[in-house]
Amino acid sequence: MLSVRTLTLSPRSIARLMALFVFPLHASVIGMNTPAQSLTEARVMALPASQRGPWLAYLKQSQAQMAADKAALAKEREGLAEVPDLPKQGGSGRAIPLHRDAEFYKSAEARKIGDIILSFQTPGGGWSKNLAMTEPRAKGQIYATANLPPTPQPSDDYDYPKDEKWHYISTLDNDATNTELHFLVELSAALPGHEGDAYRASALRGFEYLLKAQFPNGGWPQVWPLEGGYHDAITYNDDAVTESAEILAGVAKAAKTTNEPEEMDPATVEFLKAQGRTLPEQHAVTEDYSFAPPAMRARAKAAVAKALECILATQLSVPSADGKGKVLAVWAQQNDPLTLEPVSARNYEMPALSSGESASVMQYLMELDHPSPAVVKAINAAAAWFEAAKVTGYAWVGGRGTPGGRVWKPQPGAGPMWARYYSLTTDKPIFGDRDKTIHDDVMDLSLERRNGYSWWGAAPARALREYDEWKKKQGVLSK
């Protein structure tokens, strides 16, 4: 069992972090980002002997699944005169219609979407991201689109794929896999007879994927089977950990549940608007997990408990306001799977406290029934940090298409807003650029990165509103 503790950085890690933020290239640069380490057998073998077994088994299973996925695709391609082109790129996880009215999931349109989802499921049970999913995957067609960034990448870029032809094949990034599973259990509820059997079978394979992909300590990587680099880190980005835990909580209960609509996250709203689509009306929907077999239910229950242990163990601490010691704060965007220390993702995503991801984690914790004292403490600490870290009186002015791009400047009455990232050593906002430089002013970034990333956001405001209601419900006094 993973002990629940506040994550404390080792002296070596603190020294490395200080190097990040005291690198005087020029006045606006306060540090340089460093890459996350892959999860490897060599790293596992450096652990105490008593801890190696589960991690070695995990690596072996990951390698075996990748080999099986590749073999299945190769088998499909036998005898084909021509290998199909890559699937069309689109929104998949952010475009699949969840929270529609009950009649929609009985429709031919919904079943067509379900059939397309089934066609793109990998042999391992997961799905890729950024797929158009407007037509079924063709025989012999790879399960993923290119998934390459819009700008050219040097080989030392943190997002440079180890294999361009096998990248993000199954992933939790961009809401992939968990969104497909939500849709499938919504179909299952609407189609309880034989016509829903194929969707239930697919969902069971997806549940199995989540169970296998979970780290021995309860977290989830961004990509599984593992493909190296930051993709191997425990990933709170795009709610990978909390969404996976929520799905498995449904499996553990093995019942029909009502899933209330949530306020759409800014990335989904922006994507839908960019596609020229009208934002859909949201409804409470019924999700059916009752078909999960007893053995899977038990495994799912254990997995949810492990996920909570990981969440509590990775909550970070920051220097207290009075300078006397540290206080519990929020979470990073991703953590090393073995050390649990915050790590980088892409070149401009450095180890840091992360406000958006932390808001989602806090909301997940507030949804738990009968929270333990440790969970209550974590929630109260996160809420206190959000209150202390909020910024008012500033806003973006202009747009990404205006000359000079958008500008972050004083605006009376604006806010509250939170920076995407806060320094682990100073607890102040920090910002990254594609050249791996770290800055303390968003206006010092290159125009492309200043315009192309959500450096400031309001997601914690919703979490704080829900916190007020949660305190009333729980009878918990903030401290």
Catalytic residues: 174, 346
Rounded to the nearest 5 degrees, what angle is found at the Cα of 17, between the Cα atoms of 13 and 23? 145
CA distances from 476 to 232, 315, 342, 470 (A): 37, 20, 30, 8
**Whose structure tokens read 């953590």?**
335
